[in-house]
Amino acid sequence: MEQEQDGYRIRVMSRAELDRAVDWARDEGWNPGLHDAGAFHAVDPGGFLVGLLDGEPIASISVVRYPGHEGPGNFGFLGFYIVRPEARGRGYGWRLWQAGLRRLEGRTVGLDGVVAQQENYRRSGFALAHRNIRFGGSAPRGTIGGTSLVDARHIPFDELLALDGALFPAPRAGFLANWIALPGAVALAAVDGDALRGFGVIRPCHEGFKVGPLYAADAAVARDLLLGLAAAVGEEEGETPLFLDVPECNGPAVELARELGLTPQFETARMYLGLAPVLDTARLFGITTFELG
């Protein structure tokens, strides 16, 4: 990590400091999950950096290394890039950004960038892959169609992992195992006999609930999963805000969100530094999380 200079120092966060970074994300309006931090930290405990000015934390970034399919890891994800408002415009964020990218050197790096920062990311070599749109509104209610939905934790874990591996650039068994077991979360799988047709998780956030990931063979399966997840949180219609982060390149996913009464809240851009992975976005109806991909 960077040596102290002008009273500013960069180092790895403690687990408690990650809780603070999640609070900062809440202040920024990103609405993180209530229990995200533990699952995030377990992926790569050294992948969360804090910038301190005269000993006080003023900036954060996550630069998580995911394991590779063969040998050493080759994919990383950047998130939690926040500088406290009172410390902005003084170069502290840029120094933290550079330290973070050094940690991910040699890897393809993904991020979901807010509009205000996208041009800065381009200048650092990131290229747009697709936009994501956060849809939100009252939790949709409706009749589930012909899809058979079961508790995803009763599905062989290797099957969930294989589906996740087809729709995310790196294997993440530890993360996924934690994610489906978060306090207050519900994980559902769509099955047809022995075939896994989809999978989704809904978890409590500071405001309402967020669905992610939402994987489905087609829009009909995605609709049933989304309705099943919304029903599983057990709230009355109109009282529960629900959010879903949709890749704009999946047209049926955008249409589904609108059909169920959700409206755009804000957008991000999925961008990559290095060779962009090839993913089957036609089955990707909801991003897992903007912070870790």
Q: Strands 186-192 and 56-66: what pairing?
A: unpaired
* pTM of full prediction above 0.85: yes
pLDDT tens-digit series, residues 137-167: 999 988 898 899 999 999 999 999 999 999 9
The greatest distance separating any two alpha carbons of the chain, rounded to the nearest whole angstrom, comes to 63
Per-residue confidence (pLDDT) for residue 235, from 0 to 100? 57
For the chain, what are the domain ranges? 8-131, 134-267+275-286
134-267+275-286 CATH choice from 3.10.105.10, 2.40.110.10, 3.40.630.90, 3.40.1000.10: 3.40.630.90
Q: How far apart are CA 204 and CA 34, in angstroms?
A: 6
Per-residue confidence (pLDDT) for residue 233, from 0 to 100? 86
The answer to whether the beta carbons of residues 12 and 1 sit under 8 Å apart is yes
The answer to whether the beta carbons of residues 284 and 250 sit under 8 Å apart is yes
Report percent pLDDT > 70 for the chain: 95
Q: Is the pLDDT of residue 71 over 70?
A: no
Burial category of 58 from C-beta neighbours within 10 Å (exposed 0-12, middle 13-18, buried 19 and up): buried
- CATH class held by domain 8-131: alpha beta
The domains spanning 8-131 and 134-267+275-286 adopt the same CATH topology:
yes
Burial category of 222 from C-beta neighbours within 10 Å (exposed 0-12, middle 13-18, buried 19 and up): buried
239 vs 222, which has greater pLDDT?
Answer: 222
pLDDT tens-digit series, residues 121-135: 999 999 999 999 999
The answer to whether the beta carbons of residues 57 and 17 sit under 8 Å apart is yes
At residue 180, the 3 state secondary structure works out as coil
At residue 8, the 3 state secondary structure works out as strand
Look at the alpha carbons of 235, 139, 27, 92 in this order and tell me if their dihedral is positive or negative: positive
pLDDT tens-digit series, residues 99-121: 999 999 999 999 998 888 888 89
